[in-house]
Structure 1
Amino acid sequence: MEILVPLSVSGIWYPVIKENLLESGSIGLTLTLEPYIIAEIKYGKGIIFNGIEINIPNYEILRQKLGEYKLIVYSRVPLGYGYGLSGAISLAYALGVKELTSISEKDAVNVAHLSDIVAGNGLGDVIAQYHGGLVYRRKAGGLGYGEVERIILDWSDYPIFSQIVEQMPTKNIIRKSEIALSLIDEFLRNPSPIKFIEVASKFTKSLGFTSEYPNSYRKKGIIIKIFTPENGVWIRHKIASRGAFVR
């Protein structure tokens, strides 16, 4: 059994924190991307990431609420730069436990969402990764609490690339920018790949993150760009054709 989860790179986010953490998260627009992480769950304990045991705050919450298991993860992108891997690992763990126990998929996914909220590693990655594609989180919250729309666009003429810049804690970027909601509305009035990059660039610049490349934006420690770069080392992506799944 393998669990596959897409990467998550938000373009705009508006944090929403409520007393009920399952109603918390963010309103926003997120690209979910291939290559998927591939994970395997076993009886045991700990998280093995590309052959190395790692410790992420999410694991303690997952272990307490879902039971103690061992998750072995293979990823073609590194941890800690902005690809939403903490959320992806949490979602893989939850979906793996769902296969081994009687817990419902909804409850398992919501534990993963909760773990990312409490750990401060993400406010919308898990929900975006569960759905796949270009995700509009219309209302913050976990499954059954939030509202999500997958926005279907033709990306065939807009190849997507990422460049790794630096490691950076997610807590450095989880803050409100008052232009977030107006930029989401601007995108929804005329949705297109170029418009997404345009509003994401405006938003991330408002947080102090800039990119020197055309048709790009910087999210945390990575740059996302459409169209083939002329120089530098880049990773090529595709829009995730589906959300997280087990095979």
Structure 2
Amino acid sequence: MDDKESAQKTSSKTTARHCSFRVRVKIPVHITGLWIPIRSSDPLTSGSLGAGLLLSPPTIVDVCVDRSGDGCEGLCIEPVKHIVKRCRVYARVFPVKGYPLASGFAMSSSLSIAVGIAAATALGLPLEKGLEFAHEAEVVSGTGLGDVIAQSLGRAGLVLRKAPGAPGIGRVESYAVPRKPVLAIQLGTMTTSEMHRVLGDRLYRDATPLLARVYENPTLETFLDAANKFSKLARFAPLYTEHLDLFVRKGWSLGWYVKKRVLVIVVEPDRLEDVVAHLERLKVSNAYPLELQPKPLEVEVDGGD
């Protein structure tokens, strides 16, 4: 993997372990545009209301699981550590195709989904239990509230989170949208906890009426307009905002928004080169080419060593 396809390793061990099961999980990218945290005393009923886009190409994660002991090798972020400790399994976690952590690409939840499914498989539990493990780990670790359910149950480009909670408890609705190219530009890093500290009560005040508009009219255009307004209210927008708005006025782009530190631009196919050239003149880099044509969550399992 090159730097754009990998996330920084946070923990690793060099000793090889027996592999009871090998699991490859392909998880669609989810970049939310509006969200309202809903917390309870139970991580499985905690979550968020919101709306976001599912995108391809997916994150691809290989996980090798040993049923004896607990521990982690490879990309061992906090929610992954939570899962292996809770399930008493040993996991080797290696992204094949990935995106930056702590930016807004839902990379943390993608890793959690892959490891949760692998742990459930090794323990003879259904896939749904693995998704519960993933959601619980994200909530307890403070790395996410609504990505797991959107990525695992979403079936089209626009996904609305209508009830909070883990898959099987929460509820999502998916809406088909036109197939369009998307540029996702990493502006920096920001953890989920940091984002919520920065937004405070403004998150509820500003996002609630905008999300209500999307619920009433779940189209790509309505979502992009509402997410754009929220990005500006939250002061997530980059310094070159006027250029992004110019893309929309010229008909080059359907709209744009920012989640944490990821700028999302939905582009008209015949204007993609124009947008890229303009951004290059602005010295904008770290662009990831994506597409509003997601595939559902895919899982491949073999028996291991």
Q: Following the alignment from structure 2 to structure 1, what is the Cα–Cα distance between the partners of residues 209 and 57?
A: 31
For structure 2, the 5+ residue unaligned runs are 1-22, 246-254, 301-305
Between the two proteins, what is the percent identity of the paired residues? 24
Cα RMSD between the aligned structures? 1.8
Q: Following the alignment from structure 2 to structure 1, what is the Cα–Cα distance between the partners of residues 187 and 165?
A: 30
8 Å CA contact 2:56–2:292 kept in 1: the answer is yes
8 Å CA contact 1:6–1:32 kept in 2: the answer is yes
Give me the TM-score of the superposition, normalised by structure 2: 0.73
Distance of aligned partners of 1:107 and 1:39 in 2 relative to their CA distance in 1, 3 Å threshold: same
Cα shift at 1:76? 4.2
Distance of aligned partners of 1:46 and 1:240 in 2 relative to their CA distance in 1, 3 Å threshold: farther
Greater relative CO, 1 or 2 (CA 8 Å, sep 6+): 1
Q: Following the alignment from structure 1 to structure 2, what is the Cα–Cα distance between the partners of residues 21 and 204?
A: 27
Equivalent residue in structure 2 for 1:238, among 274, 291, 302: 291
SS at match of 2:279: coil
Q: Following the alignment from structure 1 to structure 2, what is the Cα–Cα distance between the partners of residues 12 and 40?
A: 30
8 Å CA contact 1:177–1:206 kept in 2: the answer is no
Give me the TM-score of the superposition, normalised by structure 1: 0.89
Give the number of aligned pairs.
Answer: 240
Equivalent residue in structure 2 for 1:190, among 217, 228, 240: 217
Larger Rg: 2
- CA displacement 1:127-162 (0-9 Å, x = unmatched): 111023321110100122211111222x22x32111
- AA paired with 1:243? P
Cα shift at 1:198? 1.0
- AA paired with 1:21? P
**1:206 match:** 233
Equivalent residue in structure 2 for 1:23, among 45, 59, 62: 45
Residue 64 in structure 1 maps to residue 85 in structure 2:
yes
SS at match of 2:86: helix
User: Which has more helix, going by share of residues?
Assistant: 2
**1:51 match:** none
Cα shift at 1:218? 1.4
Cα shift at 1:205? 2.3
- 1:92-171 correspondence runs (5 A): 92-132=114-154, 133=156, 134-153=158-177, 155-156=178-179, 158-171=180-193
Cα shift at 1:239? 2.7
SS at match of 1:33: strand
For structure 1, the 5+ residue unaligned runs are 49-53
Cα shift at 1:177? 2.5
